[in-house]
Structure formats: C-alpha cells, structure tokens
A = this chain, B = another copy of it.
Amino acid sequence: MTELAELPAAPGAARTQGRPRSSRAHEAILEAVLDLLEEGVTVEALSMEAIAARAGVGKATIYRRWAGKDELLLETLIKLKGPPTQPLGDSVRADLIRLLSVVGQKDERAVRVMPCLMPEVSRSPEAYRIWQEAITEPRREVMREVLRRGVATGELRADLDLEVTVTMLISPLLLHRMVRWNPRLDEVDDLPEQIVDVVLRGVTA
C-alpha cells in the first residue's frame, strides 16, 4: 500500500534514469516518525525538520516522496495499523466481537495519530482516498465477509444492508477509542459484546 502515498515521479515518464530512490531513506523516515511518536512527541509537535534530523535525511528527501506532513503521517498510520485482523471462522457473533475488540487497541500510537489526520482527510480528496483504500475499506470488507456468512447460513436476514450494519458495528467503537466521544462508556467493559448483541438481535432473520 506504500505506493499509494508516493508522488508520481514523472507523470508519464520512464522513471528509470538516474539514481534510484533509496529504500533505506524511505524506511528511515517512517522509522523516525514512529520513534518520535514513541517518545511521546505530540503529533502536532512533529516537525518535518525533526523527522529529517532524526532520520539522518535531508528535508528534500522527504518532500520528494510525500507532499507534506499529512501524507507522511497517513502512510505512517497505514504502516502502524498493518493488515486488518482476520476472523477465526467461529460463530458470526464470536467473529464480530473479535473484530470489534481490536479496534484502536493494537498500537497506542495509531490512536494518537488518527484524530490528527481527520482535518486532512476531511479536506483533501486525495488523502481521503488513500485513507479509505488502505485503512477503512479493508476493515469493512473483513466484517462484511463475516456478515455475508451469516446471511448465507440463514442466521441473518437476507435483505440485510451490509453497509449500514458494518457502520453500526464499528462506529461506536471507533469514535470511542479515537476521541472518547461518550466518556461514560469507559466503565463499560464488554462494549463489543453489547454492541454485537444489539445489532445481531436487530438483524436476525
């Protein structure tokens, strides 16, 4: 997915001449961002200058790959989140609970980065596209697949709207982990179960 964020090297050109881009530099930059986040640097306090310095890289080397801080952070987030969790193929209920349980729980840094990308994602169509393709859509698809299985077995209603259902399942968790939208949910320790149960009962055949 890395190349999603890459700037086109030359619109319709060969891109084979000259010294090739150093993958060493590429990795070093992403590592530098992760390191700095690890050390507790606020996302908004992350400066391109600090990243370049930490990575031992010239600033131009960063701008050659990403159009700005947001694009770089976006790719960092993608790297941070990795591929979506896979269902185990147990019951539909168990799989959904499993999928919801890991929302925003794998890496603390991802939870810090995500809200900071909301401004960019809501403004730039390009950032939105990358975010969708690399982060949200793959996770929705995994969950859709589980739901489709439920429909196939007759466990779930045949006229179920997959998109609505998926969104209803994930949104509460996402909003809670990302910005703690409803602080009273802090005390609910089986939130994924509760959500899955309500939705399943609502969409059972």
A interface SS class: helix
List residues of chain B with CB within 8 A of the CB of A174. Answer: 171, 175, 181
Q: Are A179 and B132 also in contact (CB < 8 A) when A168-B195, A168-B198, A199-B198 are?
A: no
Q: Mark A166-184, 1 if CB is under 8 A from B, else 0.
A: 1110011011101111111
**A185 at the B interface (CB under 8 A):** yes
- Cβ of A77 to closest chain B Cβ, rounded Å: 13
Q: Are A182 and B166 also in contact (CB < 8 A) when A115-B118, A118-B118, A194-B161 are?
A: yes
**A153 at the B interface (CB under 8 A):** no
CB <8 Å contact, B185 and A136: no
**A35 at the B interface (CB under 8 A):** no
Cβ-closest 4 pairs across A and B: A202-B202, A198-B202, A171-B171, A115-B118
With A122-B178, A198-B199 known, 11 other A-B pairs at CB within 8 A are A43-B119, A44-B119, A115-B119, A132-B183, A161-B194, A163-B182, A163-B184, A164-B172, A164-B188, A172-B172, A199-B199
- Cβ of A143 to closest chain B Cβ, rounded Å: 11
**A197 at the B interface (CB under 8 A):** yes
**Which A residues fall within an 8 A CB radius of B?**
42-44, 112, 115-116, 118-119, 121-123, 128, 132, 136, 140, 161, 163-168, 171-172, 174-176, 178-185, 188, 191, 194-195, 197-203
Q: What are 10 A-B residue pairs whose CB atoms fall within 8 Å in the complex? A: A42-B123, A44-B119, A112-B122, A115-B118, A118-B119, A128-B180, A161-B188, A164-B194, A168-B198, A198-B203
